[in-house]
């Protein structure tokens, strides 16, 4: 019998994702200013982005574009 709790845990991302704004773009290397105020990250991406784009970052990799709007922190 499978464990439903483990299946739920497997759905959650292993690396937390943050939202940031690209401040420097030289494909495939980017500098991203993280919204929570932790500072600049040096990130890579296979997709090309422009300065000012909002993106999701996990570790040092840009995952995808982020929508404009306010950011809320949800504690799980």
The pLDDT tens digits for 7-28 are 988 888 788 889 999 999 999 9
Domain ranges of the chain: 15-65
The correct CATH number of 15-65 out of 2.40.50.140, 3.40.50.300, 1.10.1200.10, 3.40.50.12780 is 2.40.50.140
Per-residue pLDDT tens over the stretch 55-74: 999 989 999 999 888 877 77
CA angle centred on 70, ends 68 and 75, rounded to 5°: 125
User: How many Å is the Cα radius of gyration of the chain?
Assistant: 15
Residues shown for the chain: 76
* Predicted structure pTM score: 0.74
Question: Mean pLDDT across the stretch 28-53?
Answer: 91
């Amino acid at each position: 019998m499978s464990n439903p709790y483990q299946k739920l845990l497997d759905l959650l991302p292993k690396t937390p994702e943050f939202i940031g704004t690209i401040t420097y773009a030289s494909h495939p290397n980017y500098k991203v200013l993280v919204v929570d105020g932790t500072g600049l990250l040096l990130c890579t991406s296979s997709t090309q982005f422009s300065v000012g784009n909002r993106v999701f970052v996990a570790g040092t990799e840009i995952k995808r574009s982020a929508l404009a709007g306010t950011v809320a922190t949800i504690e799980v």
